[in-house]
Structure 1
């Protein structure tokens, strides 16, 4: 029997033309690649300085929030496998205005995040080429990744798969090596589990420090939601999306908590910072020949991989905005290979912004860029929970098909995730990350004004002939 509400069960027809070429293993690696970037290799030092050894709890709570998010997202994505993803879902189930805010906020988050990664690349390359200007590396690597994204979605997926494989292999190697050193291969008295309680105990900055560090931990998890965006180009979304989401959350949670725990046992937490990756410090203490160069290569790969994924995400979100009539129509055009090249071009703006910020704020550019890029992502996550509350009721009421995956504990766990995120957003005002709200609130006000101006203009542009034809149709 045909479903009466087929419009709820189908993908977004406005996004036709994209190629469904991504496999399950590619989806998992794309999300892992986006999430395992400077947030882990560099940002973890900032989190450790904020919470001390209690950062392990921060990452555990961050992982719990992400687990709830992925539960909601997997259910909705299977129902609507489109590149507009959570933006399209918010539009369908909350309101067109909500979909507009989500897509533009997620777009700006990824555009800015691309800038964070590419500016880090220039720093990493100085290790081998100290006299070459950083702008050379920014332009060179930007050109390579733009080419990869412009070729085809399969080329992007293959490239990201192998980049992510390098990072994951390195993290597994780090866990094994660190475990051997801590529990059996070293007689150094300053290493071991006792480092977790030395220097003012497990929570040297109290519960507040642990809570603030959750915000930083979420930056490390950003990118897991990318699976929902890639669903519009996945071969079999019903199978691939839930499987990839579950695998990604489990792997990331395990990797982050184990690596940070081992790191803290080897390097005292007071030695962590963002002047240098804690991973590099660990390798330096272990006196492994060539370790610094190897780790620098891995961190460079991490930045390239994250930049590659974020460029993909921002391109698809701008494409979705254009097809939804919220951005110029030419940004929704596809190449012969099914790639939105013009949306890709405008999504590279973060590269140039990052170069400018890096020149103006060389000592604090990382924290600044992280703060402003975080708002769009955290706002998007919050709206995923809100959208799920609307989605589940409307889907069941409309007689939608039985979905292969469902969020457990609805609506209580969905509400819990929304409250946790909203609490974190509000408390950032009382932390060094208040830049997130200082940027985010004006951004939402700007988008709101632009939306209603655009809506009014569309209303005023309804052709007279069309109105007359509609009147005749109603009369007859």
Structure 2
């Protein structure tokens, strides 16, 4: 049983780095940025900058904890070590829930793009087909997942870099019949035409676009050299968030007026201004790649989180089963089944059931980030006191930036509560949090506590609980 519960270390450092980078370059940057620019104006650059800083700080905190204990299993275990079993339980289940709903959402989005080319095939059929296809790659081995995700992420990175180079050349006047110009930053009502408050309101949707830095601590459990992989991935994430997100938004706003009628599809519109042929088809392929990448990652992340919960006794032991290639097959299949059900809900009840599922999972990552930040405060204090030699990637300006991050996440949640457009998402996400805490209360009542020091050491203790 113990051998069966050991994941295989088949991910190389290049896999972990590109998986993490790919995780933060989701379809949201290509699809959702237009709405943020329209609502905020040129000051959307600051919204992306501030949201990017928060993501960077969380990434650094995770880097500090993960390099100190690279074999913990996932960031949920860092929260568990700091806050106790309830913290690990809540973090694991909330994050799992976020990603299983994301699987369905990404599958529906990818199928909608494919429907553009294959209109005779129903969207729900293609959605289920995509989930099945990527489920097979995840079941086959973690190495196959890593290789596929490496190339998905490479395509997204190449697309963003090409966009940055072409856009920079256009803005600086290195383009036919074009002079140096930054006029769109202040024209059409000024830099912040909707006021300073819109900058902070714009942080809310942007935060969901930059989610993904935490993936590195999940992949570490299956990395050949976890400490090296984590260190390199965290360093690359920090500067690429700024380059990819803030840089591309800056270019869009300099080239395309924020109040343009075509701002809803900013990347396609910019490519059209640059006279790039087949701009819409190129972006469809890139967005499709981003969606498939997120779907692929969602299956991986949700299955590993479920595996970690089962190993702790916080989920049924059936999810500990590994196939001959070392993949947690039951955890993968369970995430797939939930994805199927959510896709069916998207087809039969898009405005009721599916909308509730998406809304109720929307803010939970912010709750997770809040728990991570609080955990870093406690873990850092303990490490400085007991094992300071393990602090190889310290959080900057500790504890001030950690407190700043905690305050900022609470502020973002407060803005959601005050926003008529996002209030329903905030309330339904609170319902999700309440359900998870009730689940923990039931788990604690029915089963003894599992000590949070070390997953592998506790596995023998977990086995005897025989959770059904």
Normalization by structure 2: what TM-score? 0.89
Cα deviations by residue, 1:45-66 (Å, 9 ceiling, x for unpaired): 2221221111100111111111
Are 2:413 and 1:412 equivalent residues in the alignment? no
Q: 1:191-250, CA deviations, whole angstroms, 9 ceiling, x for partnerless residues? A: 942122222111122121110111211111111210111111111122220211110121
Q: Distance in 1 between matches of 2:245 and 2:37?
A: 12
* 222, 247, 256: which one aligns with 1:267: 256
1:272–1:115 distance in 2 versus 1, CA, 3 Å: farther
Checking the alignment, whether the CA contact within 8 Å between 1:47 and 1:55 is kept in structure 2 is: yes
Measured against aligned partners, the alpha-carbon deviations of 1:351-382 in whole angstroms (never above 9, x if no partner) come to 5314523654479989x776443322111111
Structure 2's unaligned 5+ residue stretches are 450-468
Structure 2 partner of 1:291: 279
Which moves more between the two structures, 450-459 or 410-419?
Answer: 450-459
Deviations 1:260-318, CA, capped at 9 Å, x for gaps = 111122222123789x5321222233333222212211111111111111221111111
1:204 counterpart SS class: coil
Q: Give the aligned partner of residue 417 of structure 2.
A: 429
Q: CA deviation at 1:107?
A: 0.7
The equivalent of 1:39 in structure 2 is 28
Q: Which residue of 2 aligns with 1:58?
A: 47
Partner of 1:153: 142
Q: Distance in 2 between matches of 1:82 and 1:360?
A: 42
Deviates more, 1:322-331 or 1:111-120: 111-120
CA distance in 2, matches of 1:438, 1:145: 32
Q: Aligned pair in 2 of structure 1 residues 382, 246: CA closer, same or farther (>3 Å)?
A: same
RMSD: 2.5
Q: 1:225 aligns with which of 214, 219, 226?
A: 214
TM (norm. structure 1) is 0.87
- The answer on whether the counterparts of 1:112 and 1:350 sit within 8 Å (CA) in structure 2 is yes
Give secondary structure in 2 for the equivalent of 1:270. Answer: coil
Moved more, 403-412 or 80-89: 80-89
Aligned to 1:402: 390
SS in 1 for 2:11: coil
Residue 110 of structure 1: how far off its partner (Å): 1.2
Q: Deviations over 1:94-128 (max 9, x none)?
A: 11111111111111111122222111112211221
Paired residues, number: 445
Q: Distance in 2 between matches of 1:273 and 1:346?
A: 41
Aligned pairs for 1:33-432 within 5 A: 33-82=22-71, 84-184=73-173, 185-187=175-177, 192-271=181-260, 277-348=265-336, 349-357=338-346, 360-361=349-350, 371-399=359-387, 401-431=389-419, 432=421
- Quote the Cα distance in structure 2 between the aligned partners of 1:119 and 1:139: 9
Separation in structure 1 between the aligned mates of residue 352 and residue 265 of structure 2, nearest angstrom: 15
Q: Which structure 1 segments of 5+ residues have no match?
A: 1-12, 461-476
Distance 2:178 2:354 in 1: 37
SS in structure 1 at match of 2:447: helix
CA distance in structure 2 between the partners assigned to 1:317 and 1:223 by the alignment: 14
Aligned to 1:5: none
